[in-house]
Every structure is written in structure tokens, then in C-alpha cells.
Structure 1
Amino acid sequence: MPLEITTARPDPALLDLPWSTPLEDWPDQYLAALPRGISRHVVRFVKLSGRVLAVKEIKEDLARREYDMLRDLRRLHEPAVEPFGVVSGRVGADGEPLDACLITRHLKFSLPYRALFSQGLRPGTETRLIDALAVLLVRLHLAGFWWGDVSLSNTLFRRDAGSFAAYLVDAETGELFPSLTNGQRAHDLDIARVNIAGELMDLQAGDLLDPEIDPVVISNRIVTRYDALWAELTATEEFDTGERWRVEERIRRLNAVGFDVDELAISTDIDGTRISIQPKVVDAGHHSRRLLRLTGLDVGEGQARRLLNDLDNYRAASDRQNDDEEIVAHEWLTRIYEPITRRVPRELSGKLEPAELFHEVLEHRWYMAEREQNDVPIERAIEDYVASILPTKPDEAAVVGVDTIEMPVIAERP
């Protein structure tokens, strides 16, 4: 059987990879050493044509099914890794058939949960990861996706203005439906709760989690956070006709947690004294879409919220509240954001993505101002940050040239 490569973006360099060799035996010359999560399959990162790809060895039918599922999720604009291709028809040097390979694009600046844990973690990081996973699960469920294997291991996390954004990595067990039943959603939550408790217990056994943290309590948080967000996004709300301002309040609450409302179902009771409202179509990414429209910056939701706050502060400080918002946004982009993010030396550019760097510089400026009891210009803040803080950060864009199995856990700055 000849080698068969299925991909939406053909790259002749794929033919140069050693497909006749089992994935676990691929030579180092092809590999990009990045922090890997736990997987039931062999996974390797490879360098190809200036990009980094994740290659997973798996049965052909499962590889094609997961490839199609990831493409569907990307079309729905859900947070998931980008599928790149499937390689099948592999035959080893001994003539024996080898499993197919699913190829996805590596999500830059993302890390598996184990790489985020160490003795030096900032308190509450474990709950912030659970919160990010809860948001991801709600988004997937709203799209009609039943995951079937919810866990920290099947998720990648990117820093998002001090919090985290979660992305689905493994869609092997997932299914898409027009909508999910309460039973399907509850099943996914139960799977999540059990898996997370086990993963946190494993971290404790390896001395990577504070022994005073209760894995069961933390794992139960996925249920409470999920239920609260699901209710905010989908529950019907009733109020008197004299309280119509609560319609706008509901929309603002939804915007505050990063979701937009395309349509509201509004109805009154028989005598017209009570109003019921329910969101009909809810889309995530309220702040990131607004920032993209104003500046062209495509960043995480938390980062967008933080950048928009700085844009609003710039607008007020320059007394431009009555000027066109897009003109002021362009001015902020060219005078503040771009000059600051470009101050990072090339050798440090892989530490943090630009939007997260800008957020940290704003945080650093606040700490400097508090210490000095005086306003600090952002230009001085970036100088101090680059000199004293950024060099100590782990390189989250790529860690090339080390064995990922031996790679130490990446600590978070307290």
C-alpha cells in the first residue's frame, strides 16, 4: 500500500519525514522539543518549513475521524488545535505496517497543565486552570460538541492577561450534535470531575502540587463554575415590566464574561406585567472581536479586555472621548502598543506573545508606581521589565534542543 498524505495545505516537505520509522524512534534532527502532556498515544513535535507540528501515531480510522472533527470545530470557531493532515499507508523497514499519523499545528505559547505546575506556583493557579476549562467546556457544549474525555491532559493552556485560555487538543472521542441533552452535558461534567481529581492526585504524588490542596475539592469546582456560566448564558430571566433596564443589564453581564448576544427571546405574560428574556444565540469573544475591529489585533479574550481598558485610559488621558473610536484606537496602536512590544530584544521574543507581554508591562508599571508612590511612564516600565523580569521567564514559544521527557516543570512567577 503506497504512502497516502491527506492535508488541506500540501507541503512537499512532509515527504522528507521518516514515515517508515515508528514515531517513538524518530531521530532528533526532525524533532522540536516542547513540553508534552500525557497521552495514550506516541506524540512528537517536528520542525517543518518554519513551523512546528504535533504528530500523533494512531489507528487510521481514528486519525481520519479526529482530523474531520477538528476541522468541524475550527469551522465553528471553537478553541481547538488546528488539524494539518493525516498520513496513512506507512510501512516499516521490516515490511510490517505502521499506524497512521494525525498531524496538527502546534499552538504557539501554549503549555500542557503539567508544565505549569511546580512548588513555586502562584496560589490559585490550579483554580484558574479549572475556570478556563469550564469556559471551554461551556463553549463546546453550546456548539453541540460532546467531548467524552474531558481532562486537563486533553487541553492546552495559554496565558491570557494573568488568567488562562483553554484549547481542546484531543477530539478522538468527541461527537457533534445539533444540541446536547442535559444528560450528555452531565456525563461530560462527571467525566471531567473524575479525570481532574485523578490528574491532581498524580501531581501531588510527584510533589508538584501543594499537599494541602484537596484534589477532590478542586475537581468539583469544574461543576460549580460550569453550572454558573451555563445558567448565565442560557437561563430564562423574569422581571416586572417596570424593570426593563434589566434587559440591558443581562446583556452587559454576558459581555462581561466574554460573550455576545445575537438574539434575545422576549415575551410577556397574559396581563403584560411580567417579562421573560432568554439569550437565543450566544457567541464567545466579545472583547477580542471589538479589539480586532478597532486595531486588527487578534488576541485572547482576557488580553483584549486588558488592552481595551488601556485604550480607554489613553482616550481619557488625551481628552479624546468625543473623537471617532477607530481613529483613537489607531493612534493608541501606533503610539503605545506597537512601540512597547517592539522594545523586546530578538533573543527574548519567544518568552511571551506580544499581547501577554503588554499586559505584564502594565502590571509591572502598577507595581513600580505603588513602590515609588508616583506615576511611572510606560517607557520606563518596559525598560525595567525587559532588564529585570523578562529574562527570567520560560520560553513559551518553543523550547528546542532538549528532551521533553527530561524537561523540568516550568514555574510561574509568584
Structure 2
Amino acid sequence: MPDSLNITSATADPALLDLPWSLPLEEWPDEAIATLPKGISRHLVRFAHLSGFVIAIKETSGEMARGEYEMLRTLQRMDIPCVDPLAVITNRQDADGSPLNPVLVTRHLKFSLPYRALYSQTLRPDTAKRLVDALALLLVRLHIIGFYWGDVSLSNTLFRRDAGAFAAYLVDAETGKLYPGGLSNGQRENDLEVARVNIAGELLDLEAGGRLDDNLDAVDVSNGIVAKYRSLWTELTGSETFSSSERWRINDRVERLNDLGFDIEELAIKTAEGGTQVKIQPKVVDAGHHSRRLLRLTGLDVEENQARRLLNDLDAYRMRTDQLDSDEEMAAHEWAARVFEPVVRSIPRDLRGRLEPAEVFHQLLEHRWYRSQQEDRDVPIAEALTSYINEVLRHRRDEQMVIEPPTESITLPEAALLDDEDDWRTKV
């Protein structure tokens, strides 16, 4: 190990010193490399094993590595979904003393996939739309805090399943800048146009390789991010004027924002002269309404749509057990101990990497509902769990650490090739 190696890290792991930093990244031995799918990048990126987890290593310049490291840390403090920055390593040298490129080290996000790994043979319209919707929501969240991305694309994003939808995580913050005073409309529109063009190009690239469904139009899908972004931005930040006799619309606006997964920290309400009209505008909105509520009640830290689904099941449990008028926190802990945790413990050890526990629980509820509809009876959850494990989960690929090359054909059972719950419902 060269004496000049310099590691900058908030939580340094001594095992970092054991990696072959004196070799160019492209020459690292197989025993140090973790085979995971990755998106398209202008820099060389490799995955490696470190202390029982996987890290992503990107070769870049020292200035850019340090800037991106600090930006990712800042975004984390602001509760923006992004990868976890671990270290910046500079002053690398090979055995002859020649300088090697600095690297940025981030932690691999478990159960996440680049968009190119979210299809097996073809990318279907519904899956493509859900990816774009997730990216639009992430872009809105970034713009609300004054972050200009500058290189919005599917390739610079990781996706995790979220109860039938996807949650998007920022991966590459190299071109990003944070403006405390907020973004201008021109900056937001430029980011949006970059997103539209990049997504169209990425999907057209898949089309050229025969990887798009025949019914999917790459340009229409890429234009979808513009429409989704604008509707979200208006709902989250736009003002609304109505008659003073329609004051119920204040609560209606709050509920709509909550349904989108946002909390309102401050709400500006103004009345017009004569009191005939009321104007409301959310001043500060914060994402994660349902996930924070579930975390407070049960200690479970999950994605937003997963939290919404688990909370619905919690409410149903309280109704079944006549606890609607009892203490919510006590009922929540009872639900977690008697319903959620037994399901998680029942998943065979060799299948626990297929999906996150919350996503398994969501799919189990979907599976149980569909079986009940098919058989015209209330299928017990234990019975539904057995058939779900054997007929659905056992045939999925492992998403905790996907190892199949995403650009090659993969021969798997039919259920493993399905991109969304609507498809596997029809197969069960």
C-alpha cells in the first residue's frame, strides 16, 4: 500500500485499506469484484465487496470526487433519496509510482436496480411509465430544496420496488448544484428538458436493441415526465383560490398532499376583501408522510407506498380486533408482532434476498386478495403465504444483489420475468 494514499471519510472502514488501490480499477482481480448490473456512466464504475456489503467505486478527478461526496452528504441530511457516500480516495499510485485516478466510494443500495435491469426481455409500457413517474417525483423533491441536477436521466437513478410502484434514488450528483434561495423557472425547465431528451435517448437505445415492447413509444414516455412533473409541482407548490363558503377545500388540499406522501409544515391562508374568497398555498412540503407515521408507530422504515399499504392493513387489523377506539401505538405494536413479523420470519432463508420484507408483505396481501376473489372465500393469510412463497416468490430473481447481466437474455421461470404485480396476479 503506497504511503501517499489519502482517504477522506466520515465513517472510515479499516477494510478499505485491504482493497487493491495500487491497481487501475479496470485491472482489479475477480476476487475483489462484485458482479452487479450498473447503469451507463461516463466514468469507469466497478462494484467491490467490503465488510459484508457491496460498494460502488467510480474513477474521476479529485475535485469532482470531493464535490460529489460533499453534495451527497448534504442531500442525505436533507432526506433526499440518494446513495450513501463512503469515501474519497486520492493520491493513488501504481507499483511503479505512477499516479492513478482518484475515486469516489459509495455504498450499494440494497434491493435497488438500474433501469436496464428492470426488464428481462422487453420493457413494457406500464413499467416504463412507473419508472418515469418515480423519476418525476424525485426531480420535484430536488427542485423544492433548490437542487439543480443538470444531468437527469434513468441511468443516473436507481429504482427500488415500492408496493406496485417504484421509488427513485439519485446516484450521480456530479453535475448538481444547490441553490439555497431556490431555483428559477428557467433552471427547473432546463432540468426538465434534459430529463425529457435523456429518457428518450435511453429508451430509443433499448428500442434499437429490440428491448422495447412494440406498443411503447419512447418519445411519448419521455414526454410523460414533463406532464407528471408539472402536475406534481402544481399540486405541491401552487396556490388555490375559492369561495369562503368552500372552506372544506383547505382540508381537501391537505389530504391530497398527504395522499401524495407529503406533509405541510406551513400553510399560508389569505382572505380577500369582503371575505368572499380564500387563497391557500403550501409554503413548505416534506415527503414521507406515511413512512414517517409507520416508523413512529412500529419502528419499520420502508418506502412511502409500502408504508401506505402497511398502514391500511394496520387499520384493517384494528377494525377486526375492535381496537379503533384504543391507543393507536399499542395496536400498531400488536399488529407488528402478530401479523407483520410472523410473515417475515416465515420466508425461507434462501428466499429472503428476493424482495424487501415490506414488499413481500405488500405482494402477499395482493396475492391473498386475488386468491380470495378467485375462490369466492376469505383465504386465511397462512394459506395465502404458503402459495405465495411457492408460486410467486420462489420464482423471482434475487433483487438484494442481482448478478445476472442486464443486457443479456436470462432463462428463468415465467413468473420471474414479470415486471409488475398486475402480471403475476394473472399467473397465480
Asked whether the two chains share a fold, i.e. TM above 0.5, the reply is yes
User: What is the deviation of 1:117?
Assistant: 2.1
TM-score, with structure 1 as normaliser? 0.97
Residue aligning to 2:361: 358
**AA at the equivalent of 1:147:** W
Alignment partners' CA distance in 1, 2:57 and 2:289: 33
Q: CA deviation at 1:412?
A: 2.8
Give 2:86's aligned amino acid.
F
**AA paired with 1:143?**
I
Cα-to-partner distance string for 1:336-366 (whole Å, 9 max, x where unaligned): 0000111111111100010000001011101
Name the Cα RMSD after superposition.
1.5
Match of 2:305 in 1: 302
**Residue of structure 2 in register with 1:144 after alignment:** 146
The equivalent of 1:346 in structure 2 is 349
Does 82-91 or 264-273 show the bigger shift?
A: 264-273
Which amino acid letter does the alignment assign opposite residue 35 of structure 2?
A: A
Q: 2:321 aligns with which of 318, 322, 328?
A: 318
User: Please, which of 282, 287, 291 is the counterpart of residue 288 of structure 1?
Assistant: 291
Match of 1:411 among 376, 397, 417: 417
Aligned partner of 2:91 in structure 1 is: 89
The yes-or-no answer on 1:180 pairing with 2:186 is no
In structure 2, relative to structure 1, the CA distance for the partners of 1:354 and 1:52 (3 Å cut) is: same
Aligned to 1:260: 263
- 1:371, distance to aligned residue in structure 2 (A): 1.4
In the alignment, which of 365, 381, 385 is matched to residue 382 of structure 1? 385
State the secondary structure of the residue aligned to 2:135: helix
Question: Does residue 110 of the first structure (1) align with residue 112 of the second (2)?
Answer: yes
Alignment match, 2:426: none
Partner in structure 1 of residue 371 of structure 2 = 368
Residue deviations 1:192-228, cap 9 Å, x none?
A: 0000000000011111111331111110000000000
The alpha carbon displacement at 1:25 in A equals: 1.2
For 1:376 and 1:62, how far apart are their aligned partners in 2?
Answer: 56
Partner of 1:221: 224
Any residues of structure 2 matched to 1:75-86 within 5 Å, and which? 75-86=77-88
In the alignment, what sits opposite 2:74?
72
Q: Answer yes or no: is the 8 Å Cα contact 1:116–1:411 preserved in 2.
A: no
Match in the other structure for 1:156: 158
The answer to whether the 8 Å contact 2:146/2:183 transfers is yes
Output the CA distance in 1 between the equivalents of 2:24 and 2:346.
44
Matched AA of 2:29: P
* Identity, % of aligned positions: 61
Q: Describe the shift of the 1:370–1:347 C-alpha distance in structure 2 as closer, same or farther (beyond 3 A).
A: same
TM-score (norm 2): 0.94
Rounded to whole Å, the distance in 1 between the matches of 2:407 and 2:220 is: 30
Residue 60 (structure 1) shift: 0.8
Quick check: 43-52 or 349-358, which moved more?
43-52
Amino acid at match of 1:271: G
Unaligned runs of 5+ in 1: none
Work out the CA distance in 1 between the residues paired with 2:163 and 2:360: 9
What amino acid is the match of 2:16? L
Preserved contact between residue 72 and residue 84 of structure 2 (Cα < 8 Å):
yes
1 CA distance for matches of 2:304 and 2:405? Answer: 33
Could you report, residue by residue, the CA deviation over 1:276-313 in whole angstroms, capped at 9, with x for unpaired residues?
10000100000000000110000000000000011111
Amino acid at match of 2:152: V
Asked if 2 retains the 8 angstrom alpha-carbon contact of 1:119 and 1:210, the reply is: no
Shift of 1:407: 8.0
Per the TM alignment, residue 242 of structure 1 is displaced from its structure 2 partner at its CA by 1.1
User: 35-44 or 332-341: which moved more?
Assistant: 35-44
What is the Cα deviation at residue 320 of structure 1? 1.2
Give the letter for the 1:215 counterpart. Answer: A
How many residues align? The count is 413
Q: Deviations over 1:69-128 (max 9, x none)?
A: 001100111011110000100112233211101000110000000001233656501000
Corresponding letter in the other structure for 2:368: R
For 1:201, give the aligned amino acid. L
- How many angstroms does 1:24 deviate by? 1.2
Q: Aligned partners of 1:51, 1:404: CA distance in 2, in Å?
A: 21
Q: Are residues 379 and 123 of structure 1, via their aligned partners in 2, closer, same or farther at CA, if it must alter by over 3 Å? A: farther
Matching residue of 1:4: 6
1:393-412: CA deviation from partner (whole Å, max 9, x where unpaired): 11011145x67776859833
- Distance, in Å, in 2 between the alignment partners of 1:398 and 1:239 is 51
Give the counterpart letter for 1:359 in structure 2: H
Over residues 366-414 of structure 1, what are the superposed CA-to-partner deviations in whole Å (9 max), with x where a residue is unaligned? 11111111101111111111112111111011145x6777685983353
Relative to structure 1, the CA distance from residue 381 to residue 122 in structure 2 (aligned partners, 3 Å threshold; closer, same or farther) is: farther
Task: Indicate if the aligned counterparts of 1:120 and 1:412 stay in contact, CA closer than 8 A.
Answer: no
- Would you say the 8 A contact 2:268–2:282 is kept in 1? yes
Instruction: Give the aligned partner of residue 23 of structure 2.
Output: 21
Which amino acid is the alignment partner of residue 5 of structure 1? Answer: I
Give the aligned partner of residue 38 of structure 1.
40
Q: What corresponds to 2:52 in structure 1?
A: 50
How far apart are the structure 2 equivalents of 1:172 and 1:127?
A: 26
Q: Distance in 2 between matches of 1:196 and 1:404?
A: 18
Distance 1:84 1:396 in 2: 22
Shift of 1:36: 1.0
| Aligned-partner Cα distance in 2 for 1:61–1:411 | 42
Inter-CA distance 62–408: structure 2 relative to 1 (3 Å threshold): farther
Structure with higher RCO (Cα < 8 A, 6+ apart): 1
Question: Corresponding residue for 1:236?
Answer: 239
Q: Deviations over 1:2-46 (max 9, x none)?
A: 110001111111111000111111111111111111111111111
Unaligned runs of 5+ in 2: 424-428
Question: Contact 1:20/1:91 (CA < 8 Å) preserved in 2?
Answer: yes
